[in-house]
Chains A and B, each alone.
Chain A
Amino acid sequence: MRREAKSRRLGPFHAPDPVQTEPDTARQAGAGDRGGMEEKSRWHRFRRSEAFAGLTLISPTALYALLLLVAPLATILVYSFLTDGDTVTRIVWEFTFENYITTWTQPIYRAVMMRSLSVSMMVTAVTVILAFPVAYYVSFHVAPGRKALWLFLITIPFWTSYLIRVFLWKVILGYNGVINSGLTSLGLIDEPLTFILYNVNSIVLTLAHAYAPFAILPIFVALEKIDRSLLEAGQDLGESRLMTFWRVTLPLAMPGVVAAVLIVLIPTIGDYVTPQLIGGGKIPMIANLIQSQMLDQDNRPLGSALAVSAMLIVTVVALAFVLLNARFLRVKK
């Protein structure tokens, strides 16, 4: 009785409750078909479940991710265990650990990997340290009505392509670039400054600029979420502005800082364009090495092993960072 009432309430657009139809079908088809019937009703139940609706909704994205992310990754993973062939055969389908052994024992690969890590860590440190005051200023000192404008202005550099922005830094920093020619014409220097081009400094500078908004925005969001009365409470309890910042603002902004660090660190480890253009190809990072193995040397298995190793290292670094900061990330829950 209760069930009937329920299905009536659901209206004509809902399939009848499968359990309710069971006596009818059992009488007509006999006991033998019961198993099939139950399976069918399970399918019906699934069809109407929230999980099904959710899966249906994400299926285009899921398919896209599967085809363009998982499949290439799997290919790289498989390649990394194969043997390099000659120019004709390209690869030989023979399982080997040789590529990994090369990657992890040859000094050149280790050195480049270490350089990638140290450059990206420097970039992260510079970016986050420079981004924090900007985010702080926008969050605490810009009138609420103007914050949107400020954020909009911060994103302006993104209106041009990454490649062009990197190239412009070359124009600014180069031998005959804006800085050197400017300083020369002012008579401040005789020789062009060389420490700002084709070295690690210039790579760090360029990448820090390119990733600045990625660091500013999460820190800004974290700062915006801080209840301003907490800062007054800090001062009310006897702490100066600086100590209140240290004891209240900074710990509460940590989730944003952690997000900023991860967002900057992970992509900069594998950056390809900046070392190529700004570094003048003389100080390759891991991405440049992978490119050269894959295309110039035509050694795809070794290139794949380098790529997989780099991914593993990024994963380990990121996980270590997240675990270290788990205390801060728990704060807002």
Chain B
Amino acid sequence: MNNVPQAAAPAPIASRPTMIEFRDVHKYYGDYHALRGINATIKAGEFFSLLGPSGCGKTTLLRTIAGFEDISSGAVLIDGKHMVDVPANVRPTNMVFQSYAIFPHLTVEQNVGFGLRREGGTPAEKARRVEEALEMVGLKGFGKRAAHALSGGQRQRVALARALILKPKVLLLDEPLSALDKKMREQMQVELIRLQRQVGITFILVTHDQEEALVMSDRIAVMFEGQIAQLADPETLYRRPNSRQVANFIGVMNFLPAKVLTEAAGRIAIDVQGLGQTEIDATQAPGAVTGGEISVGFRPETLTMLYEGQTTTERETPGTIEEVVYYGDMTYYDVRLDGVDSPVRISMRNVFGRPVLDIGTRTRVAWSAGALVLFR
């Protein structure tokens, strides 16, 4: 993952004015119910991501903001104004398309300046704005090139410059990085964050890549089957997913069957298979646990394997290593804890001097009750 510093937010998200509001938005394609009651607000200057598997409705939702899709019921508001009957060309939004949609018959500067026709200003002024926009995306001096002679990354930058030059209130990005290779993608992620901070425009990103969403966003809406499953900042989403579905979609999570024993005063006593009885805070059950048969989830990095002679102040459980996957900086172990049906995944950083263990090795796993999340 990219080591990008989180945005030094000028004001907390919650206190900023609302830029976009969805009020019970439904969208049908014939019998197909694509959006099923979307309610959300996106704040001004926020980097917001719509994350979900293909077909979850995230692109449809983005297109309702742009004005390319009509909604069947509900309301979409941009900066407080209803967008019903407002056509795409007069909405204060601009879009970076998944295919980039660079006009093949125009040069780079003609592409970037495409939207300036309707704006005032002398040709010289417009040319200067185009030059500035190109400079902002790192394409200074590319203006005279034919659009079809550009690489994928360059096309993307042209698409960005073309949208940002019009100073929209909202920039919509439809899977803009999916066509780039890994290195290029990571580089563009950093650049997009930098650009967003620089221009201060609300960015709405559609992506199916959970890592991309975590790295770039102030807040993320995770969507499944036309509904928002969870809307939260990246850390909450990662640490406190409110359902097994969200937990599975974002990163890796281990699940163990468990039983609720007692619930009182914000504390929940549970009995987890293999780990035994423990007590957790009620905030560790974001999905409203009702009791009875539940499951407990924990991330691979919240577990630690103890080596010979190591001790811990946390709880520990014995187990056997069943699989070892070496990643260079990390090693993933599948460990079957004693008394558990399926193995759990543990990730260990390969710090200097720490050996990689073999399959079949007996080991002890240290864990902390604070890292557990309860699911229905």
Residues of A within 8 A of B (CB): 227, 229-230, 232-240, 244, 247-248, 251-252, 328, 331-333
Contact = CB atoms under 8 A, between A and B. Distances in A.
A229 B97 contact: yes
Nearest to A229: B101
The SS class assigned to the A binding surface is helix
B87 A331 contact: no
Given A232-B68, A333-B148, A238 B90 contact: yes
Contacts of B103: 230, 233, 248
B201 interface: no
B148 A236 contact: no
Given A229-B99, A239-B115, 9 more contacts: A227-B99, A232-B68, A232-B97, A232-B101, A235-B67, A235-B88, A238-B90, A239-B114, A332-B104
B310 to A, nearest CB: 57
Contacts of B99: 227, 229
A227 B101 CA distance: 8
A146 B372 CA distance: 56
A227 B103 CA distance: 9
A324 to B, nearest CB: 16
Contacts of A229: 97-99, 101
B73 to A, nearest CB: 23
B162 interface: yes
Contacts of A333: 148
B91 to A, nearest CB: 8
23 contacts: A229-B101, A232-B66, A232-B68, A232-B95, A232-B97, A232-B101, A233-B97, A233-B103, A234-B114, A235-B67, A235-B88, A235-B89, A236-B66, A236-B94, A237-B94, A237-B114, A237-B162, A237-B163, A238-B115, A239-B117, A239-B118, A248-B103, A252-B104
Contacts of B89: 235-240, 244
B105 interface: yes
Nearest to A232: B68
B272 interface: no
Interface string B52-73: 0000000000000011100000
Contacts of A331: 104-105
Which among B114, B117, B148 has the greatest number of chain A C-beta atoms within 10 A?
A: B114
B100 to A, nearest CB: 8
Contact of A238 (B97, B98, B118): B118
Contacts of B294: none
A204 B103 CA distance: 37
Nearest to A231: B101
Given A229-B99, A252-B104, A237 B68 contact: no
Contacts of A230: 101, 103
Given A227-B99, A333-B148, A236 B104 contact: no
Contacts of A239: 89, 114-115, 117-118
A230 B163 CA distance: 13
Interface in B110-141: 114-115, 117-118
B166 interface: yes
Nearest to B90: A238
A210 B265 CA distance: 87
Nearest to B94: A236
B118 A236 contact: no
A76 to B, nearest CB: 41
Which among B67, B89, B95, B163 has the greatest number of chain A C-beta atoms within 10 A?
A: B89
Contacts of A233: 95, 97, 101, 103
A227 B105 CA distance: 12
Nearest to B110: A247
A332 B68 CA distance: 26
A106 to B, nearest CB: 46
Contacts of B162: 237
A222 to B, nearest CB: 12
Contacts of B117: 238-239
B204 to A, nearest CB: 14
B99 to A, nearest CB: 5
Contacts of A236: 66, 88-89, 93-95, 163
A227 B104 CA distance: 10
10 A-B pairs with least C-beta separation: A237-B115, A233-B101, A229-B101, A235-B88, A235-B89, A331-B105, A251-B105, A229-B97, A236-B95, A238-B115
Contacts of A328: 105
Contacts of B166: 237-238
Contacts of B104: 252, 331-332
B161 to A, nearest CB: 12
Contacts of B68: 232
Nearest to A254: B105
Nearest to B119: A238
Contacts of A247: 114
Given A227-B101, A239-B117, A252-B105, A232 B88 contact: yes
Contact of A235 (B87, B118, B163): B87
A331 B147 CA distance: 10
Contacts of B93: 236
Contacts of B88: 232, 235-236
B227 to A, nearest CB: 26
B322 to A, nearest CB: 47
A238 B95 CA distance: 11
A331 B110 CA distance: 14
Nearest to B149: A333
Contacts of B118: 238-239
B105 to A, nearest CB: 5
Contacts of B148: 333
Which among B66, B88, B98 has the greatest number of chain A C-beta atoms within 10 A?
A: B88
A240 B89 CA distance: 6
A76 B221 CA distance: 77
Nearest to A251: B105
Contacts of B95: 232-233, 236
A65 B166 CA distance: 58
Contacts of A244: 89
A328 B68 CA distance: 29
A247 B118 CA distance: 13
Nearest to A230: B101
A251 B97 CA distance: 21
